[in-house]
Structure 1
Amino acid sequence: MSSSGLRERKKQKTRWAIQEHALRLFTEQGYDATTVEQIAAAAEISPSTFFRYFATKEDVVLDDEYDPMLGAAVAAAPADLGPIDALRHAVRTTMGNLPEADRDKLLFRSRLQNSVPALRARLLDGLLGNIKLIAAAVAPRIGRPEDDLEVQIMAGACLGAMLPAIFAWVDSNGTLDLAKVVDDSLAKVAKGFTP
């Protein structure tokens, strides 16, 4: 492995370790009562190091590895799948294989995003980025550029279907099967789109 690859893995490991400490403190003290300084101290880093990994306290909740994983899984889906079916395949392979500890962490982070006004506002700001991520992943499957209006509409419709499914999973306290409820919502969207 190259030294740049090793360095990148170490950075990611540090990033997710900081997030783990932050989530533990949010559980113990509440989101609003936890400071960046406390998170940094728990992770044995300086506040300035915290800000090298996360631009804001909100980002320590909102940022995760799942969006890039989903994009990569769409790209790796069988070539004969259309754009929405490739996204469904990616959802099943990424969300369907999450270890229980990762599902619990995702559930906790999702609850925070729904209940803390600052996080909810930032989540809404991030939806445009998620539409772009989905559009970039599915556009090659229909031979159009990712900024094509129809591709953007398809990506927005998929995201629009995924959000209530994720909210239903959160409301069920994780008792619903996350991959299934998201896959089912995308299946409903797929019925209305043809590539």
Structure 2
Amino acid sequence: MTSSPAEPTEPVGLRERKKAKTRAAIQRHALRLFDEQGYSATTVDQIAAAAEISPSTFFRYFPTKEATVLYDPFDPLLVEAAVAQPPELSPIGALRATMNFIREQLPAGEWERERRRQRLVFREPELRSAVMDKFAEGIDVLAGLAARRTGRAADDFEVRNWAGAVVGVVLAAFLGAAADPEADTLVIVDRAVAHLEAGMPL
């Protein structure tokens, strides 16, 4: 008995890039619909139709409508860029350098879409409460980055206290930026982190 030839498979990297492209397209259509007709009035079926996929395909990429807004495609880029900063920089210096790097690398269209996503998150009551969990996760991420840079443990009290302070000023900056459609979020966040770096004088 002869066996049939194996089906060709896509390289993992190509497959992941295709998934990322589809996820970005779904999010792009979702944000457009939320802008045009409001978050509450938009359904998963409408998002799927706009993205030319089935509702079942939608749920393979996002578990809920809410997830299309909460998904931040730039988180992995931020972490990667932060880890790559020169070792002589302090944790907060590395953080500011990372924000400048992202600002320089991000195409204008993508950054505008990201600003719309952030404004939506902080203006919709349903989303604002959900995003707080993401900020709580941010403490763990920042503590891990600070630990790598300082050689201390990620669960060290002072390391986590520092991470919590950064998350606090960043959250305040996002809330302030959401109230101003013309605000450049990265500029405001950098000012907030610089204020923290200076000891938060009043």
Q: Give TM-score, length-normalised by structure 1.
A: 0.90
The corresponding residue for 1:18 is: 26
Greater relative contact order structure (CA < 8 Å, 6+ sep):
1
The CA distance in 2 between the partners of 1:149 and 1:14, in whole Å, is: 41
1:30-45 alignment, distance < 5 Å: 30-45=38-53
Residue 141 of structure 1 pairs with residue 149 of structure 2: yes
The CA distance in 2 between the partners of 1:180 and 1:126, in whole Å, is: 21
The corresponding residue for 2:3 is: none
The DSSP-based 3-state class of the residue aligned with 2:65 is: coil
Q: Which residue identity lines up with residue 162 of structure 2 in the other structure? A: M
Residue 185 of structure 1 pairs with residue 192 of structure 2: yes
Query: What is the count of residue pairs matched by the alignment?
Result: 191
The CA distance in 2 between the partners of 1:112 and 1:63, in whole Å, is: 12
Q: Which residue identity lines up with residue 19 of structure 2 in the other structure? A: K
% identical equivalent positions: 48
The CA distance in 2 between the partners of 1:161 and 1:3, in whole Å, is: 42
The DSSP-based 3-state class of the residue aligned with 1:58 is: helix
1:14-163 alignment, distance < 5 Å: 14-163=22-171
Unaligned runs of 5+ in 2: 1-9
The structure having more radius of gyration, on CA atoms, is 2
Q: Which residue identity lines up with residue 139 of structure 1 in the other structure? A: A
The CA distance in 2 between the partners of 1:179 and 1:33, in whole Å, is: 30
The CA distance in 2 between the partners of 1:76 and 1:100, in whole Å, is: 23
After TM superposition, give the deviation of residue 5 of structure 1 in Å: 0.8
Q: Which residue identity lines up with residue 52 of structure 1 in the other structure? A: R
**Deviating runs (4+, > 4 A) in structure 1?**
none
For the aligned residues, what is the CA RMSD?
A: 1.8
The corresponding residue for 2:172 is: 164
